[in-house]
Structure 1
Amino acid sequence: MINILDYGASGDGLTLNTGSFCKAIAAAKASGEAVLVPAGCFLTGTIDLQGVSLHLEKGAVIKGSPNREDYPIMPFHHNELGDLQALIVCLEGEDVVIDGDGVIDLNGSSFFDFSRPIIPESRVEMTQSQLEECTVEREWRPTQSIFFYKVKKLTMRDVTVLDAPCWTITVAECVNVKLTGMNIDTNLRLPNDDGIHISSCDDVIISGCNISSGDDCIAISGITNWAKPCENLVISVSRRRPAYVKCRKIQGYT
């Protein structure tokens, strides 16, 4: 595997490592290997996987930058959320794997102002505890978090994903997808932080995932391509923590 430390990365939680990830991915793409993220906290902007796999060792943390300029616009336009800006992006590819015992901290809370709650209209005065459950304002946020598009044979397993600023994991128009053993925990006051959003995909297995979300835990739609339905999905739900599956009606398809 290609170790990001060999390309100048620093796991001090302060150094921006976007360039090191880019160099490691280029080397891994040339060699056909995966990129290894060792123990440490690696602050970064957008990671463009370009079809390369990631392995996160125990103790490894990929942490999203809190700065807007570290999220360039990617060549994809989302029908609902506009220009694609995300922490981890893979536009096309085959046999892509993200796995390991590490953490992807999307750092979504850094884009929101918790002193500015969005208070809904109410006929009675809200209590302090109710106010503290309201969603909060933002100036800007990444429009996606982890985004896959037209990947064939995609696997995510065992990784913990935290604090999404928007949809946590989006899988769009992909084939042969397995999401297993994931732990997804989002801030319940951030809007639109779906755990897993499957759009226009075929042959999908979601199994053994623990998801805590302020929005849909699992959503199934055709929002990235209204003409293409999702087909052949298997979702294994834990009795201990059942997932909520939201299906959006697709034009011409129920």
Structure 2
Amino acid sequence: MVVKELSITLILFLSLCLSCYGTFSNLDEVNEYESCQQRYNITDTDMETEISDQMVRHFKPRLVVNVDDYGAKGLGTDDTKAFRKAWNAVCKSPISAVLIVPERKYLVKPIVFSGPCLSSITVQIKGTIEAPSDTSDWDGKNIGHWILFNGIKNLVVEGGGTIDGKGRNWWENSCKVNKSLPCTDAPTAMTFYSCVDLRVENLRMKNSQKIHLSFEDCSKVQVSYLTIIAPNTSPNTDGIHITRTGNMGLSDCTIKTGDDCISIVSGSRNIRIGNIACGPGHGISIGSLGANNSEGHVANVMVNNVKLTDTSNGVRIKTWQGGHGLVKNILFKNIAMHNVQNPIIIDQNYCDSIHPCPVQKSAVQVRNVMYKNIKGKSASDVAVRLECSSSVPCRKIVLEDIHLVSDGDVTQGLCENVIWDEVGEVFPACAS
């Protein structure tokens, strides 16, 4: 790219203050840079006007903070305070900042990275962040979170490193594993709450205590190139959980867990999911919605180009009886199933309870849902199961170019209380 002609003043600024343009390791250097700008009456806008985009990216100032500089050891001792101090430094920076976690293992106890911050922040996780194995480290703290990013704009979390939840002690004490134990909560490994203009990419997450990655009340989110792994016996270890979040793109991820690979729940809208390998796990789910007679809404979701292998469900919508609200404008397309127990399923009688759920008339409405080009192997004889409410039936459900087969003598489609259309070849066909 050709660099535009620079003014004499700007050339002078660059020649005298070039050391200010680049990376900074502390706020004193940032202040020196700003003083240099004021002396020559040069603003960042002037720089961006006079210099090509490529030059701006090269010279644009930023603060670089390494957690080691704030006391992190990476030796198995508690590095939580060092991480907190390093975050405070980047959050207070008036210029864009980078927080680096080097290629070592860091033990970090429950921590909150809070905004608002003064500028954009990139967190580069190159090493491994490990949770404490002792569940008592959450005593007196919010048991629902391990790593929480709260109220931040213009945040990037990346780096190729690993987030290790050390979840085995939590799993062994889950009521889903040991029926004699009371049901208690467990931490989500990494939560983004009320974040705007967020990008999360190129990370490995494993063995979360509960959900691996959760987005709550966020907007303008891009997630890509994640690998999420936990044993298929680990309880409630959803890969990615999305709630009350909008305008989100999720792509190019591999997810192997003990629960939903991706779960989308109430308040979420405008979600685009593509190029996902899922399994083992419970598949990709919208819901559950409507629990405890609550209201649930999910709209405008597209799931495209997904491979599901050895999962208990494929693409699923699940709602409780007694709820109310609406699921609408959902598209599942170009999906390959390999040994999937319930490849296509709508369940408006969902009941995740040790006690039978009472029959109720109200339900979350499901309408405008399309299943297109879904093919492969069903692990059960019922490859298409649409079980909708008798009082609030599913409407405008379209099955197009479906070919799912099982090893049984007959592969079936069971559809109750649903108004559907079939386009192209559809096997198995819906039967009431």
- Global fold match (TM > 0.5): yes
**Contact 1:199/1:220 (<8 A) preserved:** yes
Distance of 1:210 and 1:86 partners within structure 2: 23
Q: Which moved more, 1:240-249 or 1:196-205?
A: 240-249
Q: Corresponding residue for 1:105?
A: 164
SS in 1 for 2:114: coil
Where 1:252 maps in the other structure, the secondary structure is strand
Change (3 A) 1:63 1:33: same
Structure 1, 42-51 or 15-24: larger mean CA deviation: 42-51
- Please give the alpha-carbon distance, in whole angstroms, between the structure 1 residues aligned to 2:161 and 2:100: 11
Asked if 2 retains the 8 angstrom alpha-carbon contact of 1:112 and 1:138, the reply is no
Q: State the 1:112 CA deviation.
A: 3.7
Aligned 8 A contact 1:204 1:233 in 2: yes
Aligned match of 2:104: 40
Equivalent residue, structure 2, for 1:96: 155
Q: Against the structure 1 CA distance between its residues 197 and 69, is the aligned structure 2 distance closer, same or farther, given a 3 Å change threshold?
A: same
d(CA) in 2 for partners of 1:150, 1:158: 22
- Of 66, 90, 99, the match for 1:3: 66
* Alpha-carbon distance change, 138 to 36 in structure 1, aligned in 2, over 3 angstroms: farther
Structure 2 CA distance for aligned equivalents of residues 241 and 112 of structure 1: 21
Distance change >3 Å, CA 179–CA 118, structure 1 → 2 = same
Change (3 A) 1:96 1:138: farther
- CA gap of 1:235–1:117, structure 2 versus 1, over 3 A, is closer
Going from structure 1 to structure 2, the CA distance change for 1:3 and 1:72 (only over 3 Å counts) comes to farther
Alignment partner, residue 63 of structure 1: 130
Matches within 5 A, 1:125-136: none
Question: Residue by residue, what CA displacement relative to the aligned partner does 1:223-242 show, whole Å, maximum 9, x if unpaired?
Answer: xxxxxx2111110034x657
TM-score (norm 1): 0.78
The one-letter amino acid of 2:125's match is: L
For the pair shown, the structure with the greater C-alpha radius of gyration is: 2
Q: Is the 8 A contact 1:9 1:17 kept in 2?
A: yes
What is the Cα deviation at residue 187 of structure 1?
2.6
- 1:87 aligns with 146
Take 2:170 and 2:257, find their aligned partners in 1: how far apart are those partners?
17
Q: Tell me how far 1:27 sits from its aligned partner.
A: 0.8
1:246 aligns with 2:285: yes
| Equivalent residue number for residue 386 of structure 2 | none
Q: 2:274 is matched by which residue type in structure 1?
A: S
1:234 aligns with 2:301: no
CA change 1:106–1:141 in 2 (3 A) is farther
Q: Deviations over 1:51-85 (max 9, x none)?
A: 4542112xx000011233433666xxxxxxxx553
The Cα of 1:189 is off from its aligned counterpart by 2.0
Aligned counterpart, 1:225: none
**Other structure's SS at 1:2 match:** strand
Q: Unaligned regions of 5+ residues in structure 1, if any? A: 75-82, 121-135, 223-228
Select the residue among 16, 20, 23 that pairs with 2:82: 20
Query: Is the helix fraction higher in 1 or 2?
Result: 2
Q: CA deviation at 1:110?
A: 3.2
* Contact 1:63 1:107 (8 Å CA) reproduced: yes
Which residue of structure 2 aligns with residue 217 of structure 1?
Answer: 261
Asked if the contact 1:111/1:139 (under 8 Å) is kept, the reply is no
> What is the CA distance between 1:245 and its match in structure 2?
1.6
| Greater relative CO (CA pairs within 8 A, separation 6+) | 1
Percent identity between the two aligned chains = 24
Aligned residue for 1:200?
A: 244
1:113·1:138 contact (CA, 8 Å) conserved in 2? no
Cα distance in structure 2, aligned partners of 1:19 and 1:70: 14
Aligned: 1:173 with 2:217 = yes
The residue type paired with residue 107 of structure 1 is K
